[in-house]
Structure 1
Amino acid sequence: MSKNSNNGPSALETRDEPESDLPTGLSKPALRALARAGYIQLDQFSKLAESEVLKLHGMGPKGIDLIRRALAAKGQSFADGS
């Protein structure tokens, strides 16, 4: 048994991070790519061109489509109108 074992919440679980409202169904690689780039809120994508998001390693056509549909449901779109 290790003396350093800790049964409490980890530092990652206790940090105050803004909650994401990204669409469900995004793949884990897509979510990691977006998080690394600092994109965790759907509204952020209305300031970005679709082509910018597609450049992120881990983002593909399915992820873009999910984000596009989620934006449309809120009456928004990517900055380039897609």
Structure 2
Amino acid sequence: MTSDKSLKVCEKGHKFYKSSECQSCPTCDKENKPKSGFLSKLSSPARNALVHEGIDTLKKLSKYTEKEILKIHGIGPASLPILRTSLEEAGLSFKK
């Protein structure tokens, strides 16, 4: 079985293999993972997707519907319960 993964190097010089066009470096993702807050509870792809869209607070997240969030590349259905709970704990919810 052949692998379709290609060697990539991030701007910090970390080497990693990815099969997709995603340039996200696993080492940098670990270094950049927040210690607390709702973003710390998400997978790297989901966290990076939200930050890339400028959604870095629960207040900003509450301006979107669940459907809109799911359309963002990198966000999957497994992220929704985490996001929903985080919003509820802050007295917020997804836009209806």
TM-score, structure 2 normalization? 0.58
Question: Is 1:73 aligned with 2:69?
Answer: no
- How big is the alpha-carbon RMSD for the aligned residues of Structure 1 and Structure 2? 1.6
Instruction: Give, in whole Å, the separation in 1 of the partners of 2:64 and 2:88.
Output: 14
Which structure has the bigger radius of gyration? 1
Percent identical among aligned pairs is 39
Change beyond 3 A, Cα 1:69–1:23: farther
Shift of 1:35: 1.1
2:51 aligned partner: 35
Shift of 1:29: 0.3
Shift of 1:32: 0.9
TM-score, structure 1 normalization? 0.67
Aligned length: 61
Q: Which has the higher strand share?
A: 2
1:44 aligned partner: 60
Instruction: Give, in whole Å, the separation in 1 of the partners of 2:42 and 2:82.
Output: 7
Unaligned 5+ runs, structure 2: 1-35
Structure having greater relative contact order (Cα 8 Å, sep ≥ 6): 1
Unaligned 5+ runs, structure 1: 1-19
Query: 2:64·2:95 contact (CA, 8 Å) conserved in 1?
Result: yes
1:12 aligned partner: none
